[in-house]
Amino acid sequence: MKARVHVMLKTGVLDPQGEAVRHALGSLGFDGVEAVRQGKVIELDLAETDRTRAEAAVRAMCEKLLANTVIERYDIQIDG
């Protein structure tokens, strides 16, 4: 079973990397970009075959390691 976790900064949390990308895009002539939020995608190959248990395990991984839940939110997608 495969899992994909999308991690993004919560609304209201400053995103200096996103701002740097927005500025660089402007420097390259892409003037219409008003804001950029940068995040990360984590793909996991899981041995678990039960979808409910897989999602619970990935949620625990996010809470303990994959996301800083103070400033980040995450979405989980399970395939398989």
Residue 78 scores a pLDDT above 90: yes
The whole-angstrom separation of Cα 37 and Cα 50 is 33
| Domain residue ranges of the chain, discontinuous segments joined by + | 2-79
Gap between the Cα atoms of 67 and 64, Å rounded:
7
Q: What is the pLDDT of residues 58-70, one digit of tens each?
A: 999 999 999 999 9
Q: CA 63, 43, 75: angle at the middle one, nearest 5?
A: 45
The pLDDT value given to residue 77? 98
Q: What is the H or E stretch that residue 6 is in? A: strand 2-9
Give 80's pLDDT tier (boundaries 50, 70, 90). confident
pTM over 0.85? The answer is yes
CATH class of 2-79: alpha beta
Q: What is the pLDDT of residues 8-61, one digit of tens each?
A: 999 999 999 999 999 999 999 999 999 999 999 999 999 999 999 999 999 999
